Amino acid sequence: MPKFSLNDQEMEILVNYLKTLSPENDYSPGVDKETLRFATVITDDVSETDKKAMLDVLQAHVRARNTQTRPHKKRVTSGPFYKTESFSAYRTLKLYLWELKGEPDSWDQQLTDYYNANPVFGLLGGISTRTWEPIHRFSERLKIPTILPITDQPVVSDKDWYTLYFSKGYYQEGESVAAFIRELNDKKKYKKIIQIFDRNSGGELFAKGYTDNRSDQAELINIDLSVVNLEDAKQSLGQLDEQSILLLWIDAEKGLSFLNKINDSGLSHSPIFISAGYFSDLQKQKIPENIKDNIYLTHSISLPEENKQKEFIVSRWLQREGIEKTNFSIQAKMYFLGWMLPGALRHMRSEFYRDYFMERFDMMTDQNYAIAVYPRLTFASGQRYLAKGCYIVKLNPDASNNELVKVSDWNTN
């Protein structure tokens, strides 16, 4: 057991902190002697297919957990004394579905209404294609643990506590580009960076990730398509030359229109960065051949060939549970959450306090086994983004099947 030497001031701080802790059996909201209540949040922009992919896997894990709880509850009255606390920690899990509708600025009130009707201990999973910020702020305000929501638009903060994310999402991709451009500048100094993004599709998060982490001295030109006409923005392409870099943080339809303009104008000398997440396989095939060698893609998850064994394990589990394999990335992430959740609950014993629940995840060992869509996930005290990297890849010019070739390691700095 660790020992700490505290001076009088430190001891006073510790005593005052201990006085703020809840008395015995005065658990956090959402807990009683029989049930531990959670909710999962889904916004109405999510397709029915993706909603079902997330919800089916999460509900299957809750059912499995509740089935395993039954024999442990029986042991509470007959188990050996030293195991009583461990066995009595088992609660039936109840999962509520909180569906949010309309614009994000209305979500906080909807969440508050849901919570007032049925207070929960925490939020599990959840999914949105829009900003997660209103849900994040709600969790911070009420100190509700939110574990591994599926979002590309999380809140990036080194101070907030109550939401554990898979990654920094779009921001992390921009961050990775900043690191990669540092390496490019070691070989050739670029004098101009043109960054085109669309705030309406989350592009400002890519841009912020790059801008916050850049160390190059190049002139930076930012163009936001939410305020600049598309055709006017294309005029900026005339500034491209061999000493320029183009960052295109826009959806595939708009992105292809820019790439075609570059191809038609013969402006094929500059490195061009796009997000693989914006481009389907079919859309990648539409990138003009003449500029493919200039295209770099951010790739925020494992490449298809990297995790075949782990994909097989998750696919077998889906088959066993009678769940159709649809959006595998979503299903694999919820499989991982279901894999990790029992350990966090078990190690809480009967100390059902929200902060302690978060700390149990902090103390998890790093994972590269149960997660089928990332190379690895890293846990540590106070860290709220588990995937610490992103690949930079290129399209293989010798392949006709959109094969991706890594040109960077899995890192952001």
Beta-carbon-side half-sphere exposure of residue 413 (alpha carbons within 13 Å): 7
How much is the pLDDT for 80?
53
Is 72 within a domain? Answer: yes
**9 CB burial (10 A radius; 0-12, 13-18, 19+):** exposed
Shared domain for 39 and 125, answered yes or no, is yes
Structural domain count of the chain: 2
Residues 49 and 146 in one domain: yes
pLDDT for res 81: 44
DSSP 23: P
What is the spatial distance between Cα 226 and Cα 78, in angstroms, rounded to a whole number?
65
Q: What is the structure's pLDDT at 205?
A: 97
Q: Is residue 145 part of a domain?
A: yes
Number of neighbouring beta carbons within 10 Å of residue 51? 18
- For the segment 347-358, what is each residue's pLDDT rounded down to a tens digit? 787 788 899 899
pLDDT 10s digits, 234-286: 888 888 888 999 999 999 999 999 999 999 887 667 899 999 999 988 899 89
**Burial of 344 per CB tally in 10 Å (0-12, 13-18, 19+):** buried
Please give the Cα distance from 226 to 200 (Å, whole number). 6
CB atoms within 10 A of CB 322: 8
Q: Domain for residue 29, yes or no?
A: yes
* Inside any domain, residue 206: yes
**Do 143 and 280 share a domain, yes or no?**
no
Query: Is 411 contained in some domain?
Result: no
Please, where are the H alpha helices in 77-202?
A: 84-88, 107-117, 133-142, 170-187
Whether 126 and 141 share a structural domain: yes
d(CA 18, CA 21): 5
Both 294 and 319 in one domain: the answer is no
Which pLDDT value is given to residue 21?
A: 60
3-state secondary structure of 38: strand
The two tokens of residue 311 are 């994909």
> For residue 150, what are the contacts with CB-CB under 8 A and spacing of at least 6?
54, 125, 126, 127, 128, 166, 330, 333, 334
Domain that includes residue 89, residue range: 8-168+306-362
Q: Please check whether residue 247 lies inside any domain of the structure.
A: yes
The DSSP line for 179-208 is HHHHHHHHHS---EEEEEE-GGGTHHHHHH
Kindly state whether residues 142 and 28 are assigned to the same domain.
yes
Instruction: Kindly state the helix (H) or strand (E) to which residue 15 belongs, with its residue range.
Output: helix 8-20
pLDDT score recorded for residue 1 = 42
187 with 40, same domain? no
Under a CB-based contact definition with an 8 Å cutoff, are residues 101 and 123 in contact? no
Place of tokens 């990036």: 156
**DSSP designation for 103:** -
Kindly compute the dihedral angle of the four CA atoms of residues 106, 111, 114, 118, in this order, to the nearest 10 degrees: -170
DSSP 366: P
pLDDT at 239: 85
Between CA 93 and CA 408 the distance in angstroms is: 42
118 shares a domain with 13: yes
Pair (261, 397) in one structural domain: yes
* pLDDT means over runs of 10, the chain (413 residues): 77 79 68 94 98 98 83 54 53 96 98 98 98 98 98 96 97 96 87 93 95 91 92 88 93 94 82 94 89 94 89 96 97 96 85 89 82 91 92 83 86 65
Q: What is the CATH number of the domain that holds 34?
A: 3.40.50.2300
- Regarding whether 22 and 95 lie in a shared domain, the answer is yes
- Short-list 301, 298, 304, 306, CA closest to 393: 298
3-state SS string for 396-411: CCCCCCCCEEECCCCE
Q: Are residue 161 and residue 198 in the same domain, yes or no?
A: no
Same-domain pairing of 244 and 319: no
For 233-272, the DSSP string reads HHGGGGG--TTEEEEEES-HHHHHHHHHHHHHHT---S-E
The answer to whether position 373 is within a domain reads: no
Distance CA 67, CA 88 (A): 16
